[in-house]
Structure 1
């Protein structure tokens, strides 16, 4: 199994989403050393926000692109290659202003390309990124999975929507929520997320053994 881990929190070593997502990937590797891992750290190596060179370059034949167009389209091609090569995708983000990080949004913008990851036909749009298992690891200061604040969660609905549009409909969410509510809440949130990760790893290992 090829695993793609995409981290995007600006909090570095203090990031709960990066920590849990990284531990998740490492546990999958430990469970089966034949698994491979590619890490895309969007903070250490941020993707350029789409601009005029990108928006025109993706529709320009390769031989006719300017050097700048070739550069930015090449970045998009690289992240698309990583995505298509992966069997399992782990996306980690903090909950920033009720949505995903801007660095992760840039990743979405680079992988969402007409003719590459989706197409339009007689029956409308069709996602071309199929056969992937996706896990979203989301850390938030408050509780947004239930209660009055549910309507403020624009991160999970957005990611489910855009991933589904690209063909990735098998999506699970691992939340680390309430981390802004004190030390005990942090401990509880991390324990709950770790338990879910361990359950997924155990289930994945069991499926491999059964096969």
Structure 2
């Protein structure tokens, strides 16, 4: 009897790429996850190196177009979105590395969400309200911040809401805050986050 390979989708958003604190934390998580899942596969989606285009009118129209009437350009937009969604669908576990930029998520991550939140594909509307379709997954969200904002900040709530909207409701948040306050504050926050991630992986 064969078993399917477990997959971790690692979504990196820091402008500093692997040098960012959020990236370093999720890289550690991925290493620990691989140690706990021999033969597992880690798939990287680096939104700083390969940004997702921001949603404009032609892209919006392409994503909502009738498949029978799509132009080649529109089909290319849909294919790109489908590929992003398939990465999530194929993963058992997701880990996000998300710094706070101007009190919110990086714009590249927002653009990513714009391409994966699609009616009839990753969610649908029912008589009881919207229903997410990407179910059965666990997500870990690592948020790094220069100041102290707390776990119920709008940034955290937005991520929780958008993931839940597409069906990912089993979400663990790890906050590393106060990174710009002092060396002592930064080191304490990062050490606490590292310890927590080691436990979770």
Q: TM-score, normalised by structure 1?
A: 0.88
CA displacement at 1:63 relative to structure 2: 4.7
**Structure 1 CA distance, aligned partners of 2:65 and 2:113?**
21
Residue of structure 2 in register with 1:31 after alignment: 36
Distance apart, 1:61 and its partner CA: 3.3
- 2:118 aligned residue: 113
* Ranges in structure 2 where 5+ consecutive residues have no aligned partner: 1-5
Task: Tell whether the 8 Å contact from 2:17 to 2:49 is kept in structure 1 after alignment.
Answer: no
Aligned residue for 1:22, secondary structure, equals: helix
What's the offset of the Cα at 1:132? 0.7
1:154 maps to which residue? 154
Number of positions where the alignment pairs a residue of Structure 1 with one of Structure 2: 196
Deviates more, 1:111-120 or 1:185-194: 185-194
- Note if 1:10 corresponds to 2:15: yes
Compute the RMSD of aligned alpha carbons. Answer: 1.4
**Separation in 1, partners of 2:90, 2:137:** 10
Show the 5 A alignment for 1:5-84.
5-84=10-89
Map 1:131-210 → 2, pairs under 5 A: 131-145=136-150, 153-201=153-201
Which whole-Å CA distance do the structure 1 matches of 2:18 and 2:95 have between them? Answer: 18
Give the Cα separation in 2 of the matches to 1:13 and 1:56: 34
Q: Secondary structure at the match of 2:9?
A: strand
Please show how residues 78-117 of structure 1 align to structure 2 within 5 Å.
78-117=83-122
Structure 1 unmatched runs, 5+: 202-211
| Distance (whole Å) between structure 2 residues aligned to residue 76 and residue 13 of structure 1 | 25
CA distance in 2, matches of 1:33, 1:53: 43
More helix by share: 1
How far did residue 188 of structure 1 move? 1.0
User: What secondary structure, in the 3-state scheme, does the structure 2 residue paired with 1:138 have?
Assistant: strand
CA distance in 1, matches of 2:34, 2:68: 40
Q: CA deviation at 1:154?
A: 1.7
CA displacement, residues 144-164 of structure 1 (integer Å, 9 cap, x when unaligned): 126xxx6xx221000111111
TM-score, length-scaled by structure 2:
0.92
